[in-house]
Amino acid sequence: MPMSPGYVPFHPNPSKPKFRPPPGAVDAHCHVFGPEAKFPFAPERKYTPCDAPKEKLFALRDFLGFDKNIIVQASCHSKDNRAMVDALDTANGRAKGVAFVGEEVTDTELKWMDKAGVRGVRFNFIKRLVDFTPRDVLDRISRRIEKLGWHVVVYFEMADLHELADFFTSLPTIVVVDHMGTPDVGKGVDSPENQRFHRLLDKHKNFWVKATCPERMTLAGPPYDDVAPFGRALVERFPDRVLWGTDWPHPNMKKVAPDDGVLVDYVPKIAPTAAQQKALLVDNPMRLYWS
């Protein structure tokens, strides 16, 4: 299938970052797409991306100076987790995964994914990406995966947080928030909705957050200095519950693919000290995914 009209493929030759991640660094949010010939995209998908196979992901990991990946199931593969699991199976222990499942998932399938290194499921509330799933269904899924010691990753837009917060706090597992809760950067880090988000994390110690995707939120463009205060605030306030990742291959970027080297050079802007960098890139993801 051809890519969706206007779909922007990932950067063909990212720059080498100046920042060197500490040994054992984990890219805690990335995806694999296809290859379509082997792992077809799901019929119910909302976009058709370009192939972004595991070999390219692992080569980028090495080029950027990372050691491991967390591969998050993307909506273009919907509930068919085979491409993601195949990547885990061939990563020599250097990748863990987050799946997307429906209630019909069997215990055998959950065990298969657990054995491969899946440690969470993603609940996606972005309307342009997925169809609505009733909360009671998500609740039942969360209770099944809790037994495996998995967590829930939530992807939403901050404007919707007020109607989602009660559901999130009712979840029995660790809850990992994608992309800083996607704040509106134009409103500033002290906006009431961003402060409300910080209070949620303050109060609920089972909430973690990914300080990811400045390229999705920036108004100024690279090197994303306008987004850095949002990431830095999270690293300072929640130093042991924050993660970082590239989001390669950057689905649904509007005009230009981000340069992954520039994204890696954004890390010291949000985590200026060596101790913060080690927590963000090594200790936190290792605790959540490898212990």
Residues in contact with ligand 0GY by CB under 6 A are 31, 74-76, 129, 178, 247, 251-252
| Closest alpha carbon to 48 in 115, 94, 3 | 3
Helices of type H across 90-220: 107-116, 135-146, 161-170, 192-203, 214-217
The one-letter amino acid code at 133 reads: T
Question: Smallest distance from the beta carbon of 85 to ligand 0GY, in angstroms?
Answer: 16
Catalytic-residue membership of 226: no
Out of 27, 51, 178, 247, pick the active-site residue. Answer: 247
CB-nearer residue toward ligand 0GY: 258 or 276: 258
Question: Smallest distance from the beta carbon of 7 to ligand 0GY, in angstroms?
Answer: 11
Which residues, at least 6 apart from 103, have a Cβ–Cβ distance to it below 8 Å?
137, 140, 141
Question: Smallest distance from the beta carbon of 75 to ligand 0GY, in angstroms?
Answer: 3
| Closest alpha carbon to 163 in 184, 193, 129, 208 | 193
Backbone angles phi, psi at 148, to 5 degrees: -90, -5
| CA dist., res. 76 & res. 276, Å (int) | 34
| CA dist., res. 276 & res. 92, Å (int) | 27
| CA dist., res. 15 & res. 263, Å (int) | 10
Question: Smallest distance from the beta carbon of 234 to ligand 0GY, in angstroms?
Answer: 17
| CA dist., res. 249 & res. 31, Å (int) | 6
Question: Smallest distance from the beta carbon of 46 to ligand 0GY, in angstroms?
Answer: 8
Q: Contact at 8 Å (CB) between 133 and 153?
A: no
Upper half-sphere CA count for residue 142 (Cβ side, 13 Å): 22
Q: Contact at 8 Å (CB) between 86 and 103?
A: no
CB-nearer residue toward ligand 0GY: 212 or 276: 212
Question: Smallest distance from the beta carbon of 126 to ligand 0GY, in angstroms?
Answer: 6
Q: Contact at 8 Å (CB) between 62 and 54?
A: no
Please give the positions annotated as active site: 247
